[in-house]
Chain A
Amino acid sequence: SQQGEEDPQALSIQEGENATMNCSYKTSINNLQWYRQNSGRGLVHLILIRSNEREKHSGRLRVTLDTSKKSSSLLITASRAADTASYFCATDALGDSWGKLQFGAGTQVVVTP
């Protein structure tokens, strides 16, 4: 069953603007990860946030996690055309020791020059 759901489904912005996308999930988790997928390619891991963390940064990426609301957000600051891709959240269910991930359907981001 689908665990993560991203919002919005699609986002179109101009270079230099910030892009924010959200992820909601249904069950308690060990951690939450964000991935990027360029057209015709595989997914690339961006960042992982653990259930006891509230915010994490990596370069131009900022991720927040609110376990009480079962939601996360990914902010890309000062976007570039190269950020055009689909972005997915993936959750690792609490109690799962094998690290199986459940992915959402993704947010498609288009950054125009």
Chain B
Amino acid sequence: ETGVTQTPRHLVMGMTNKKSLKCEQHLGHNAMYWYKQSAKKPLELMFVYNFKEQTENNSVPSRFSPECPNSSHLFLHLHTLQPEDSALYLCASSQAGSGQPQHFGDGTRLSIL
């Protein structure tokens, strides 16, 4: 039990589909993160939310759209994705601020056909 739950665990979608990834944390944290993990590459930070406000958008293409309705839930809305977007998408949460360990979900394995 990691305290951070991601659904779905696997997703296969065509390039014209619209889907959403969901992340939920039960740890009382006030910061949430989306990362992209591709084979043989470092984790790429995509978005950061602190106290429900987006504080980071690392030049992520607009076909990825995050939503944080409250401090416990985080979504990543997907539309018109490209084959190179196939990856493991990881959600994490922490207390906001420096020196806080991040708690990760087990990710959504996304495959774009």
Contacts and interface: CB of A to CB of B under 8 A. Distances in A.
B96 interface: yes
Interface of B: 2, 4, 6, 31, 40-43, 45, 48, 50, 55-56, 90, 92, 94, 96-107
Contact of A103 (B4, B43, B48): B43
A98 B96 contact: yes
Nearest to B100: A99
Contact of B99 (A4, A31, A43, A102): A31
Contact of A105 (B6, B42, B104): B42
Interface string A38-59: 0011111100101000000000
A98 B105 CA distance: 20
Interface in A92-113: 92, 96-106
Contacts, number: 68
Contact of B55 (A44, A48, A88, A98): A98
A30 B100 CA distance: 11
Sort A-B residue pairs by CB-CB distance and give the 4 closest, nearest first. Answer: A42-B104, A45-B101, A103-B43, A43-B104
Nearest to A101: B102
A33 interface: yes
